[in-house]
Amino acid sequence: MVIHSATKYIDGQGRTLGGVIAGSKALISTIEAFARHTGPCLSPFNAWVLSKSLETLDVRLERHCKNALEIAKRLEEHSSVKWVKYPHLPSHPEYELAKKQMKWGGGIVTFEIEGGLTRGRQFLDQLELFTLSANLGDTRSIATHPASTTHSKLTPKDRQAVGISDGLIRLSIGLEHVEDIWEDVEKGMAV
């Protein structure tokens, strides 16, 4: 079974909420009654928006992924960055597998900035092009610092247990020109 948030890349612009559950007929039949009677169905308008968005999904994803790879490569070379995780970077521990399974490497780049919690917050504060949000998969670039936002209620020990360091930054790379995206990342690094 695959559960996918259609709100992310399928819509691509944060205009609607939706999801997809896909699997074999036998598997789907086990949840069909629950889904039918508890209300998790799309409105006709949201379904139409998502169906229209599918028309440009391939073109959008290609741009997301090409931009993300370029940003990931540049981040690897930056002196303020401890590490970068992006599946299509040779430094990624599952690079060979990712190349076999993925046409492109995706639109998300994760890295750790030197300086921990304070530096992570400062990075976000300097950004102008990026939207600050815990969302991802939008046409515009989005940045988040989980240690001070989505996971801020966890203790540092609990964050470490799930792989969230104090300096971890997550970028959802959008469709803007890659040089504009990089310029904004450099602003964030300049503190």
CA-angle at 88, arms to 146 and 61, nearest 5°: 75
pLDDT number for residue 127: 96
Helices 57-76, 178-189: axis angle to 10 degrees equals 40
Model confidence, pTM? 0.89
Position 6 confidence tier, pLDDT thresholds 50, 70, 90: confident
Complete domains list, the chain, with CATH = 2-56 (no CATH), 57-189 (3.90.1150.10)
pLDDT number for residue 21: 86
